[in-house]
Amino acid sequence: MNSLKMGILRYSGVMRTHQPHKHIKPVALILWIFGALSTCAYGQSNTPTALYQRSLAATCANCHGTDGKGVPNGGMPLINHLSKKQMLEQLLAYKAGTKAGTIMPQLCKGYTDEQLAAIAQELGSHE
């Protein structure tokens, strides 16, 4: 009976010469593994502290843009050229009131010195 069933399947007119689906699953698995590994190699830590620091720095993108280029003619200066040290010095000067500005002095007063240091660490250029 078994050979009869096999014979019916074999001669039923269904050709089984090309089965691309057999290769799709291994290829998809390989791509998924490389994708997972590439996210691990991205280099950003996802510890709670690192996520908190990045979230502090992300608020700057509202005015300065995600690339730090700002809108120079609109009063939002370029910040992506500042080193970490320069950025921290400017943020602390805004907070102390020794650097003039329209919005930044008020914003900086809302952060602790440690939070401003975290922002400078995240956004300052990596020179």
**Which pLDDT tens digit goes with each residue over 18-77?**
555 555 566 665 666 666 655 554 556 788 888 888 888 889 988 888 888 887 777 788
Burial of 116 from C-beta contacts in 10 A (0-12 / 13-18 / 19+): buried
Tell me the domain boundaries of the chain. Answer: 2-40, 48-123
The SS3 call for residue 39 is helix
Amino acid at 81: H
Beta strands per DSSP E along the chain: none
Tell if the pTM clears 0.85, that is, is over it: no
Class of domain 48-123: mainly alpha
Per-residue pLDDT tens for 68-115?
A: 888 777 778 889 899 999 999 999 999 999 999 989 999 999 999 999
